[in-house]
Structure 1
Amino acid sequence: MIDRPPIGKVIRSLRRELNLTQNELASRCEITSQYLSLLELGRVNVSLDTLLVIAAQFERPLSSILLEAETLMAAMSPKRKKRKPAA
């Protein structure tokens, strides 16, 4: 299983920067606040269509949100030790 980038954490951070409640952002995106909550917690998969709508509300390209999520994921993952080559 591969780890998913924490897109929900990025969405929560961007939402808070704009001082929006979950209800406000959900309403603007035409999704339920319950779904947005689960998305921010990383408990549901999100469709590309929904991500595009959310990105539009932040006036940011989707790629910037994905890059931020991948950067956050890299920072959170434990450093892996390099294996020595077999002799």
Structure 2
Amino acid sequence: MRWTSALAIYVLFWSFSVFLVLPFGVKTTREVGGEHVPGQAESAPHEFRSGRTAWRVTVVATLLFVLFQLNYSYGWITPQTVDLFDRGNMVTR
């Protein structure tokens, strides 16, 4: 795999990992015991720490990408492994 393809795949893993990481560790204003601001959603986080979130996303994305790269190199899971319809053994008429 070329490095440009690997970089593009890593960026995709990073982008998808944002959605995996965002819900964890979030406390609302009510959970912290703070005062609710009028017009603010009740589910809004009390404090958003973008640096910590970016660090967590980077760790998760890197782990997932390493697993992907190892699978690409060693072929642990192939398309034939996850073929739900068993097209390789279909009888043709």
**Structures share fold, TM-score greater than 0.5:** no
Higher share of residues assigned helix: 1
TM norm structure 1: 0.38
Which has the higher relative contact order, 1 or 2, with Cα contacts under 8 A spaced 6 or more apart? 1
TM norm structure 2: 0.36
